[in-house]
Amino acid sequence: MSALSLAPRALYEEVAELLRQRIFSRELEPGSWIDELKIAEEYGISRTPLREALKVLAAEGLVTMKVRRGAYVTEVSDKDLADVYHLLALLESDAAGVVAERGTDGQLAELKALHQELKAAVKKRETFFALNEQFHMRILEIADNRWRQQMVADLRKVMKLNRHNSLLKTGRIGDSLAEHQAVMDALLARDPALTRARMHAHFLNGLEAAT
């Protein structure tokens, strides 16, 4: 019985991930209507798991449900973006400070290696995006507060609706890399206050580039 009860959940979560990636890649653009019938046919599924998947994406802020009009990819306003960056700056700078204070030498070496990979991927856009997020999420994992990790993961999903626009601005990738280097230097110096300040500044600069 338990295996049967898990099957529908696994299906709608899989559909949610497929749609999530289509949203992040801009195949489904912000503000666009999600044609449930067409997508259900594409995936060869009924509309029930699709609607469950849309509820998941709505809870994450990626989809907006409109009464009698259906589901739309969320459009992020300037205020939405400012609010998300504000919270990310607080949460991630706090986590970075914890890592500077309590991270092991091995964990800091791991972050340094990730930063080196990021530097090497500066001309490979999608790889850079992936490594950039990996660096940030690894800091959160090392800081070891699962509630903070979950909050950041949800906020970053909304931020990704605008991510390509911000990082593709002229010079922003280079600036972002320099800011990561400054954070890394503070981490290696084991200076929690400086690490928090530099991570906070990193997000403020990111917001300026995104708006």
- Residue 3: pLDDT band with limits 50, 70, 90: very low
Q: 104 near 76, Cβ under 8 Å?
A: no
pTM of the entire predicted model: 0.80
- Structural domain count, the chain: 2
Q: What is the rounded distance in angstroms from the CA atom of residue 20 to the CA atom of residue 5?
A: 24
Whether residue 160 contacts residue 183, with contact meaning beta carbons closer than 8 Å, is answered with no
Do 29 and 69 belong to one domain? Answer: yes
177 and 103, same structural domain? yes
- As given in the structure block, the two tokens for residue 64 are 């907006």
Average pLDDT of every residue of the chain: 90
Within this chain, do residues 34 and 49 fall inside the same structural domain, yes or no? Answer: yes
Task: Supply the DSSP symbol for 33.
Answer: B
pLDDT of residue 161: 83
For 95-149, what is each residue's pLDDT tens digit? 999 999 999 999 999 999 999 999 999 888 888 888 999 999 999 999 999 999 9
Cβ contact 161:74 at 8 Å: yes
Residue 28: give its domain's CATH number: 1.10.10.10
pLDDT surpasses 80 at 163 = no
Whether residues 47 and 89 fall in one domain:
no
How confident is the model at residue 4, as a pLDDT? 43
Contact 14, 7 (CB under 8 A): no
User: Mean pLDDT across the stretch 157-164?
Assistant: 77
Contact 146, 86 (CB under 8 A): no
Boundaries of domain holding 106? 78-210
163 and 65, same structural domain?
A: no
Q: Domain boundary at 73, 90, 124, which? A: 73
* Average confidence (pLDDT) over 13-34: 92
pLDDT at 159 over 70: yes
Give the whole-number percent of the chain exceeding pLDDT 70.
Answer: 92
97 and 196 inside one domain: yes
6 and 47 co-located in one domain: yes
Would you tell me how many other CB atoms lie within 10 Å of the CB of residue 211? 13
Residue 116 belongs to domain with CATH number: 1.20.120.530
Residue 29 CB partners (closer than 8 Å, separation 6+): 73
